[in-house]
Each structure stands twice: as C-alpha cells, then as structure tokens.
Structure 1
Amino acid sequence: MTKPPTNSGVVWWPALVAAVVKLLLIPAYHSTDFEVHRHWLALTHSLPLSRWYSDTTSQWTLDYPPFFAYFEKFLSIFAARVDPTITDLHRGLNYASSSVILFQRFSVVLSDLVLVYSAYRLTRSRNFRALERLLISALVIWAPGLLIVDHMHFQYNGFLLGILLLSISFLEEGRDLIGGFIFAVLLCFKHLFAVAAPVYFVYLFRHYCRGGLVKGFGRLVLMGSAVVAVFAAAYGPFWYYGQIQEVLQRMFPFGRGLCHAYWAPNFWVFYIMLDKALGFLFTRLGFSIKAPTASFTGGLVGDSSPFSVLPTITPLITFITVLLAISPCLVKAWRNPQPGMISRWVSYAYTCGFLFGWHVHEKASLHFVIPLALTSLKSAEDAKHYFFLSIVSCYSLFPLLFEAQEYPIKVVLLLLHAVLMLYGFSARFPGASATRDHAVKGGDNESETNAFRIGWFGKSYLVGLVAVEVWGQFLHPIIFGDALPFLPLMMISIYCALGMLYSWIWQITQIVLTN
C-alpha cells in the first residue's frame, strides 16, 4: 500500500509567515519579563550551579524548574559571544541594548520550532485533509495570544507548549512511554503544567499499564523509571549541592496573593467582588467590618487576611478545588482511556487550573486554548466553542500591552484570527449539503450535518466584549479622566471571567456526555 501524501507544506509555510510577523514585532514593547530572562542568562552564565537558586543580585530571582535554568545556561553560551554585557551579572542589570533585544527576540523565534514540529506531528498522525491540516496548523502557530505574550510581552510559551503538544501527539499514536517521558520533561521546564499530571497519571496507568498483573506491573516500573530518570537529571545536581530546599522555595512562593496584579479572568474574580459587595452592604447596615490587612494581588509574604466577610482562600483550598473540578475527567480516563480524548482531557485540566488555581497569571489561558485547537475540527459545536474561547482568551491578554503604539497591533491580530476561524470553520462545516462528499473523501462524520454557526449567545457575548473595549479605551478617559483607573481592567477581568466560566461548563458537559 502506498502511504498517503503528507502535505507537509501546509504546516511549514504558515510557520514561515509566522516567522516574518515575529521578526516585524522585534521593535515592539517588551515587559519586565524581558529583563527577567536577561538576568537569568547572566545568572546561569556567571555563577556555579550551586548558587543559581540562592542568588539575590536582582529582584528577578530564578523561579523556574532546573531544565529551564539549563536552557538559559545553554542560551547564555551564545549570548556571551554576541555581547558579553548580556551575561555580566552586575554590569548587565536592566541592560536593554539592541544586541540583547535582537538576541532574546531571536531566541524565542528559534525555540518556536518545537511548536511548529509538534503541529506537524499532530496533523500528520491524524486523518486530515490538506485544508484541515492547514487550519489546525494556523490556529496553533498563528495563535494571537502567543504572538502577544511571547513576541511582544516576552516569554517562551510557544517552546513549552510545543513540548506539551509533542507529548499529546505520542499519546494519540499509542506511544505512551515516550509521551509520558516528554510530559515529565515538560514539568522540569515549567512546573505550572503539573495541573494536568493527574490526567496523565490515570490515563497512563489504565491505558499503558495493562495486559495482566505481570505485564502491567512491568510497564508501571518502566514508566516510573523513565519519570524518575527525568527528575533525577533535573534535580539531582541541586540535591548533590544541598540546594533542593532553595529550589522548591523559589518554585512555590505561596506567600503571594490569591490573584495576580491584573486579575486573571477566573472564578476568584467573582469571589472577590462578592466579598467587596458584602463588605459594603454590611458597613451600610451598621455592622463593624474589619478591613483587609493585605492586598488580593500582593507578591510579598503576608497576604494572610485579604477578605473582609467571606472566608480566606488558601493555597490548599485552591488545590482541593482544582482537583475536585478535574475529577469527572479522571473518572472518564479511568473507565475508558481513549487516546483520541487525551487532548480534550488535558485542555480541560488546564481550564480547571486556570479557573480555580492560586495566583493564576492571565497568560495561563494559553495552556488550554492551544491544545483545544486540536479538537476544534471534531464537530461544528467544537468549532463554535473554540471560536468563542480563543477570542475571549486573546482579548483578556490585551492589558498586557498598554502602550498606545501597540494598540493597533493587538486589535489587528485578534481580528485576523477571528476572520481565519470564521472562514476556516465555515469551509470545514458547510452544513448537510456537503456531508456526503466529505464522507466519500474520508472525513470525520461526527456532527457533519451541522453547519458552523456562531449562534445568538456567542454573538451577544462578543457584542458585549466590543462594548467593554469601547468603554475602557475611549469612553472612560473622556468621562472619568485619570479617576478610577482600575475600572476598565476590572471590567475586562469580570467580563472575560464570564466567558471562561461558560467554556468550563461547556467542556465538562462534553466530557461527561461522551461515552
């Protein structure tokens, strides 16, 4: 039998277009994260490994797991040759010359090749036509949220999400051992991806460690050995130097507040607003309400009592809440561990972590929006949900780019993304008239009788989103001037949180109802 054509060009040419766009964004605004990663280059280059997690030369201390520190060390070898000041621990503080800007921007662009390759593997391993491969690749590689966060604000999310998608691609192919191994590697790059670890554990235990007592136990030992080997390679040197406690303290700074400085659009936004409303109401009724002793968004130890009426939320409470929210997915993975469901289950786990987690960053929405692109072509309903969710996620990231010159860029990126989805999903789900023709060509028959339609709810919500943006960007400055500067940001958080909550409900419904 001849192999079907790979149509690899439908993956690589979008990557080339994306690379050109990323290069054009080099002069754009970058956040303090740019100096954070620049300092980590200098730290790992200038100091011995035994001091990486204890150094306090800068306030931007190293707080990612060891593999990311090794990654920075690797980059620093080339950075020192481009410009020695980049890796000078003391002279390089707040260094932002053209050489460091170009080096760090290019490092993100090149590391995104991992994301491109993962998109290639995922679309190659599925029974996709050229148009479908192109659409999935574009949704992943051209994701506007990634362009905003990585190539303007500055981070390495594309590289890390590429590792996650590689893991998912191997699991979908039934190659569980390497899929689990790659996920363990990912956890040693960024520990926040551990939210999906329960899903991986249950799925791999039920799907990989099967086949009788002896065979199952042997596979369990093999998988466990692979994971232990990864963590030993990452943390072993720090254990040798007696630095494990310092590493863990940097990675898990639970003294920070429940919410980030800009409230991520999650469940705790509603909890905070309810507490404020109750505090105001009780005060007006004559009750003595103790004022909060610390901020909801503080980054310092001491955020012990930020609520005036409702019970204080602790890291343990958020951990239990996230685990309970994920539990329906774990039950499904235990009862029927299907490789075709792994991307949906992993995305749902990260949605739960985003909605109910501790000190969640708004950028964490990328953890579930990008993997969900893989399920967007399963049905017209999946496409409609992804259309809605990806727009909400991207818009929630707008406050990251607050300078006037970046405003047209982020708006254009979101509009182009919306147009791409609108035309792509409409072509993929044209309605009942194209069902028979698509089936003859070997397409997925699931929900083929349904055409892609945004629906009244989605249209109403998106109109409201436009209203929120018009208010915050144009009307609020005219009416209030410099007063109430927090109000537009709060409106974005609350309104996007409603959209995120809807997405969570939709996802859990799909998981529960799927056999």
Structure 2
Amino acid sequence: MAKPRKSRNPASDLPAPARLPWQPPAQPVATALLISLAALLVRVLVSVGPYSGQGAAPKFGDYEAQRHWMELTLHLPTSDWYRNTSDNDLAYWGLDYPPLSAYQSLLHARLINASLPDTVALRSSRGFESPESKLLMRWTVLSSDLMVFFPAALWFVWAYMKDGVGGGGEKREGWMWLLAMVLINPCLVLIDHGHFQYNCISLGLTLGAIAGVLSRNELAAAALFSLAINHKQMSMYFAPAFFGHLLGKCLKRKYPILEVTKLGFVVFGTFALVWWPYLRSYQATMQVISRLAPFERGIYEDYVANFWCSTSVLIKWKRLFAIKPLKLMSLCATIFAFLPSFVQQVKSPSNLGFLYSLLNSSFSFYLFSYQVHEKSILLPLLPASLLALHEPHLYGWFTYYALFSMYPLICRDQLLLQYIAVLGLFFLIYYSPGASYVKGINVSSGTKAVLSLPLLCSILFHIVYLQIEPPKRYPFLFDALIMFICFSQFVILTLYTNYKQWMLDLHPRPVGRRKKDL
C-alpha cells in the first residue's frame, strides 16, 4: 500500500526563528518604558549644556539657524520661505531643507510664539538668546524625539525580534539591549540635544519605514520614507537600499507590475502632498530645489572623514576641477560604491540583507557624495545600530569612530563633558553583564595590532587636540589627522559590510511571503 504524500507547507522551509512567533519576556511594556525613560533622561541632561554658536555673533550656529527658520515660516507666506526678499536674506541662514522641515519649523514657531513671542519676532529676533528661549527650543527637540524616534525604535525592535532577523537563542532575548543601543546613540544625542538639530525626525521616519519593511507593511514604509526625504534630503542616502529591496520583493511576487505601481502611487502621492504649495509653477518648484542642492559651496567644507576631503591633501580637487566635473565624478563614485549592495538586494531580497544594504548605501553617500558634513555620519550609524545584535563589534567600533570624527565639532560647541559622559554611558551599556553576545573577536595577533594602532592614536589625539597648539603654518593639522584616522576605519568597515551582505547569498534567509503570494 502506497504511503500518503505529506502536504508541503512553505512555512516549514523557513528557519525556526522566522517560523515561530516571538514571545517577549514578562512585562515587556514596563521594561521598554524604563529604557525609554533612561534614554530621555540622558537627552535632558545633555540639553542643559551649551549649543552650537552660543554667544558667537554675528551668525551664531545651528541653534540660530533653526530659530531663524521658525521666525521666517511664522511671519512669511510659503511663497517667500525659499526666496530672497527684504525679510528673508538667504545669506543669513536661508532655509535649505525640504518643505516638511519648514512645516515642522512653523509648528514649533507657533508653540514658542504663544508663550515667548520675542524669540521668533520678525527681523528683531536675530541672535535672540535667553534661558527661557533655550528651554523652549530644547523642548521642541525633546518632544520631536519622543513623538517620532522613540515610537519608531520600539516598532523596529518588535518587528526585528518577531521576524527573527537576529537569529535564535540568546540573541532573541537581547531585545532590551538592542533597544538601549538604538535609543542611547551617543552621536545622535549629542548632535540633536547638544549641538542642536532635529535629526531625530528624519531618522525616526526612516526607522519607522524600516520597521514597516520588516513587518511587511511596504506601503506604510514607502510613505514614511518619502516623508523622511521631505524632511531632510540626506535621507536619500538610504534610497538605493529601499528601492533595491522593495523592487526585489515585488519582482518575486505574482503581479510585480501591480506591486511596483502601488508603491509608486504612495511615493508620488506623499511627495505631491508635501510639495503642494510649490507645485503651482515651475519657477516656485525650482526655487526650492536650488536651495536643497548648494553646489556652490564646493565638494566639501569642514574636515569630514570622507574620500574627497581625506585625499585633498594629495589631490587639490577644488583647484583642479570646476563644480560641474566634480558633480559628475562624485555621482559616478557614489553609484559605483552602492551598486553591489543594490544589485544583491534586487537579486536576493532579505530582511537581514536589507539592513546591511541600508548601511552600505548610506556609507557610499557619506564617503563619495557631494557636500557631506561631519554630522552626516549619523545616517550610516542608524542602520549600524539596527545591526547591533547581529554585528555587535562592528557597531561598537563604528560608534566610537563616528563620535571621534565629530570631536572637533564637539570641542567647538564646548560639549566635552557631555561627550565623555555619553560615550562612557554607552560603553557601560554595551559591555553590560547581560550582553553575553559581545564577546572577543577571534583574530590573529597581526590583525589585532593593525586594529589597535588607530585606536591608540585616537585616544592620544583626544588629549593632544586639547593640550597642544598646532603649528601656525598648519592650524588645522590635528583636525586633518583625526579625519585620516576615522576615514581609514570607515573604509575598512564599509568593505567588511559589503562582503557580509554578499555572503548572505551563500546562506540565504528567504523573505517571508504573504498568504496571497503563496
């Protein structure tokens, strides 16, 4: 008698962590709340310190830029936000972020104007600084963080652990450590709540989009990532990863053209909604776009640890090439750098590969794109934090050098105490007793020596930068040396992560399919 054939269940082919639902430990809400409160307390303590350009007339710093944008959006019509007028001198902190960032400035301006109108008074408030205005401005960042980045981080950790991206066993129990790594990111805390910016909004929207991808809510992910781009154009650093991964998933479904069309409608609809006031004419649209791409500033400004600035010691890019060929060279180099990661995700989309692709894509833009700032390191640092459970050593190493690359900026802002405290707290949590997955790396003694040399140099330069005056002939010598050290590590890290992403093809983890796709 023939044996009956067993019915084939596609889910049985998936790895155990992806097949079984994730069951969090007891009282996960209370634990997540405690971690969130601790992360909030760290932000509050950092915000007590100085901010960018405090008392430094005539242009001050990023704090004044954000305040000035609130002033402009509150008192001027939308048609004048990006246009040079008698009330809007673009040479004085002209608005250079997309419309969603301007709407955010308007919302905060209305809240501040209700209690302290002198802070955002038109023309008369330039350089306005008072303890009350500082408190209100700081609370706008804290509230933005709480309403955008914190919920996105919680959603990501839930989706990550439920999907089983991090693997099984002890890694699946490390959700608390992962949440702490994402929320207590020393670079983001110091830049947003010390230096003073709103990266938590664009990064939070991106993080929400990533969580949407992991939880198979692709349409929500497309909308959230479109909003992230419309808040800060640097979010485009992640665009190749999102496009490659979603395209790869669509191509593997029953009706690929329909799937791509739905995503396209969401993206174009979101952009149209945000840009609606500027779609009335071609001139109005181009006025905004011209402000978002400041090519006249040159391929780099300050000492940033990317390719163009690091190699400028040997090749004087600004002297040898005009802006147009530099733009083309930068574009080609950036595409060439992220193309392998993009192709891998189109070919073999997976959630873990998607996280690697986000890191590799953003690293490519940081290293090779036009007009990169030192604070742009926050973008590749976000996906690195999301890979903390899978690549704990990479995240710890990268976090240290990312923070070190901003050390001159931190010193200018007089945030050295906050720098030491937040970095120390980060590594206390990173090497906490419960983090058993952070173990020693099994490498040869020669490799350890090579890795230890830049680490020792970086520790030395922390002291040298503060205690020793550079030669008068080379006033920025120490800034350049810090840049070289960090650039060397970033190149090593991006080569490693590209290699790890392509190695996933040798041990593929299938993307979970929805019922209608089976």
> TM exceeds 0.5?
yes
**Once the two structures are superposed, what CA deviation does each residue of 1:156-191 show, in whole Å capped at 9, x if it has no partner?**
112221111111111112221211221111111111
| 1:17 is the counterpart of 2:38 | yes
Is the Cα contact below 8 Å between 1:172 and 1:340 reproduced in 2? no
1:263 alignment partner, one of 274, 282, 303: 303
| 1:155 is the counterpart of 2:164 | no
Q: Which residue of 1 aligns with 2:491?
A: 501
Task: After TM superposition, give the deviation of residue 458 of structure 1 in Å.
Answer: 3.4
After TM superposition, the structure 1 stretch with the greater mean CA deviation from structure 2, 334-343 or 346-355, is 334-343
Q: Which residue of 2 aligns with 1:183?
A: 225
Matches within 5 A, 1:394-433: 394-403=403-412, 406-423=415-432, 427-429=436-438
Counterpart amino acid of residue 383 in structure 1? P
Q: What is the TM-score when the length of structure 2 is the normalising length?
A: 0.83
1:193 alignment partner, one of 226, 232, 235: 235
**C-alpha separation between the residues in 2 aligned to 1:53 and 1:84?**
23
**Once the two structures are superposed, what CA deviation does each residue of 1:59-110 show, in whole Å capped at 9, x if it has no partner?**
1111110111111111111111021122212111111122221111111111
Task: After TM superposition, give the deviation of residue 23 of structure 1 in Å.
Answer: 2.1
Matches within 5 A, 1:198-217: 198-208=240-250, 210-212=252-254, 215-217=255-257
Percent of aligned pairs with the same amino acid:
23
| 1:373 is the counterpart of 2:366 | no
Task: After TM superposition, give the deviation of residue 505 of structure 1 in Å.
Answer: 1.2
Matches within 5 A, 1:485-496: 485-496=475-486
Where 1:330 maps in the other structure, the secondary structure is: helix
Task: After TM superposition, give the deviation of residue 424 of structure 1 in Å.
Answer: 6.2
**C-alpha separation between the residues in 1 aligned to 2:49 and 2:115?**
21
After TM superposition, the structure 1 stretch with the greater mean CA deviation from structure 2, 4-13 or 342-351, is 4-13
Q: Which residue of 1 aligns with 2:312?
A: 272
**C-alpha separation between the residues in 2 aligned to 1:70 and 1:13?**
32
Is the Cα contact below 8 Å between 1:306 and 1:312 reproduced in 2? no
Q: Which residue of 2 aligns with 1:282?
A: none
Q: Which residue of 2 aligns with 1:356?
A: 368
Task: Point out where structure 2 has 5 or more consecutive residues left out of the alignment.
Answer: 1-19, 53-60, 506-518
Where 1:423 maps in the other structure, the secondary structure is: coil
Counterpart amino acid of residue 45 in structure 2? L
**C-alpha separation between the residues in 2 aligned to 1:52 and 1:13?**
41
Q: Which residue of 2 aligns with 1:29?
A: 50
Q: Which residue of 2 aligns with 1:168?
A: 210
2:145 alignment partner, one of 112, 128, 152: 112
Change (3 A) 1:339 1:130: closer
Counterpart amino acid of residue 465 in structure 1? S
Task: After TM superposition, give the deviation of residue 245 of structure 1 in Å.
Answer: 1.3
| 1:254 is the counterpart of 2:329 | no
**C-alpha separation between the residues in 1 aligned to 2:371 and 2:160?**
37
**C-alpha separation between the residues in 1 aligned to 2:21 and 2:340?**
42
Counterpart amino acid of residue 229 in structure 1? G
**C-alpha separation between the residues in 2 aligned to 1:190 and 1:430?**
37
**C-alpha separation between the residues in 2 aligned to 1:425 and 1:374?**
18
1:136 alignment partner, one of 156, 175, 178: 178
**C-alpha separation between the residues in 1 aligned to 2:96 and 2:433?**
40
- Report the aligned-residue RMSD: 2.7
Is the Cα contact below 8 Å between 1:176 and 1:208 reproduced in 2? no
After TM superposition, the structure 1 stretch with the greater mean CA deviation from structure 2, 416-425 or 203-212, is 416-425
**Once the two structures are superposed, what CA deviation does each residue of 1:329-377 show, in whole Å capped at 9, x if it has no partner?**
1111111111232121111100010011111011111101122111121
Task: After TM superposition, give the deviation of residue 18 of structure 1 in Å.
Answer: 2.3
Q: Which residue of 1 aligns with 2:279?
A: 239
| 1:514 is the counterpart of 2:517 | no
| 1:472 is the counterpart of 2:465 | yes
Task: Point out where structure 1 has 5 or more consecutive residues left out of the alignment.
Answer: 277-295, 297-304, 432-448
Matches within 5 A, 1:279-358: 305-307=318-320, 314-358=326-370
Q: Which residue of 1 aligns with 2:17?
A: none
Task: After TM superposition, give the deviation of residue 455 of structure 1 in Å.
Answer: 4.5
Is the Cα contact below 8 Å between 2:138 and 2:193 reproduced in 1? yes
**Once the two structures are superposed, what CA deviation does each residue of 1:479-506 show, in whole Å capped at 9, x if it has no partner?**
x576632111111111111111111111
Task: After TM superposition, give the deviation of residue 27 of structure 1 in Å.
Answer: 3.5
Where 1:96 maps in the other structure, the secondary structure is: coil
Task: After TM superposition, give the deviation of residue 425 of structure 1 in Å.
Answer: 8.3
Counterpart amino acid of residue 38 in structure 2? V
Where 1:419 maps in the other structure, the secondary structure is: helix
1:44 alignment partner, one of 63, 73, 79: 73
Counterpart amino acid of residue 367 in structure 2? L
Task: After TM superposition, give the deviation of residue 459 of structure 1 in Å.
Answer: 3.1
Counterpart amino acid of residue 407 in structure 1? L
Counterpart amino acid of residue 236 in structure 2? A
Is the Cα contact below 8 Å between 1:170 and 1:178 reproduced in 2? yes
Greater relative contact order: 1 or 2 (C-alpha under 8 angstroms, separation 6 or more)? 2
Is the Cα contact below 8 Å between 2:310 and 2:483 reproduced in 1? no
Counterpart amino acid of residue 431 in structure 2? L
